[in-house]
Amino acid sequence: MKVMKKVLLTALIAATPMMAQVKEKIEVPYIAFPIKMGKGFDVVQANCLMCHSFGYIINQGRQSKKFWEGKVNKMIVHFKAPITDKDKKVIVNYLFKHYGNGKEQ
């Protein structure tokens, strides 16, 4: 009986097409994250969205100015995002205004 089972199982595996699950291009859905509008948003959109959704910003929660500065620096220094000094200031101000906790440090 045990042998029989094994034979059946082998037959079943052999009959399974090699890659049957998804045969076409997958579509990753677009999620409209509820990002806040305000001064500097266009700059945030132009720079940040190149690499990641607004979900990343919202996920961080309310943070200090130093925190947001550190984040933007990380994108420039480590991820090599070509953000100009002028844009950096605008982005940090936007993030702190809308996703800040009121604390500088």
Partner 1 sequence: MKRREFFKTAAVTAGAAALGTTAAEAGVTHQPIDNRKVGNVAFPEKRPLITYSDRPPLLETPREVFTCALTPNDQFFVRWHMPDIPTYIDTDKFTINIKGLVKKELKISLKELKEDYEQVEVAAVLQCGGNSRSAFTPTPGGIQWGSGAMGCAQWKGVRLRDILDRAGLKKGAEWLAVQGREKAAYYETPNFIRELHLDELDDHVIIAYQMNGEDLPYLNGFPVRLIVPGVYSDSWIKMISEITVTDKYQKLFFMDHAYVVPDNECECETPEKLFPKTKPIWRMNVKSIIGYPENGAKLTLKSQAVVRGVAFDGGAGIREVQISLDGGKTWDKAILDSGKLGRYAYRTFRYGFKPKKLGKLQIMAKAINKLGEEQPLAKDIKWNHGGYKYNGIDVVTVEVV
Size of the site for partner 1 (CB under 8 A): 32
> Residue 57 in contact with residue 13, Cβ under 8 Å?
no
Among 1, 2, 15, 21, binds partner 1 (CB under 8 A): 21
Binding residue for partner 1 (CB under 8 A) from 71, 89, 93, 99? Answer: 71
CB of 80 to partner 1, least distance (A): 4
Question: For tokens 């309310």, what's the residue?
Answer: 62
CA distances from residue 70 to 2, 4, 66, 95 in whole angstroms, order as listed: 63, 64, 6, 12
Would you say 4 or 12 has its CB closer to partner 1?
Answer: 12
Cα distance between residue 105 and residue 91, in whole Å: 17
Q: Which stretch binds partner 1 (CB under 8 A): 1-9, 26-34, 37-45, 92-100?
A: 26-34
